[in-house]
Amino acid sequence: MTVYFLCLVLFCIGLYCIVRKRNLIKIIIGIAIMEYSVNLFFILIGYKIGGRAPIHSSDQTILNMVDPLPQALVLTAIVIGLAVTALIAAIAIRVYEKYGTFDITKIRKLKG
Partner 1 sequence: MFELQVLLVFMIIGALIAVKAKDLLSSVIAVGVVGLGLSLAFLILKAPDLAIAQLVVEILCVIILIRATIRKDLPFSTSGRWFFNTFITFLFMAVLLGFGYYCMRDLPQFGKPIMKVAQHFVNQGLRETGAANLVSSVVLDYRAYDTLGEATILFTAVLGVLAVMRKIGRKR
Does position 6 interact with partner 1 (CB under 8 A)? The reply is yes
Does position 98 interact with partner 1 (CB under 8 A)? The reply is no
DSSP assignments along 56-78, one per residue: --SSS---SBPPHHHHHHHHHHH
Contact between 30 and 15 under an 8 Å Cβ cutoff? The reply is yes
Choosing from 59, 60, 81, 104, the residue that interacts with partner 1 (CB under 8 A) is 81
Contact between 45 and 66 under an 8 Å Cβ cutoff? The reply is no
Using CB under 8 A as the binding rule, the residues of this chain from 20 to 79 that contact partner 1 are: 20-23, 25-26, 28-30, 32-33, 36, 39-40, 43-49, 51-58, 65-69, 71-76, 78-79
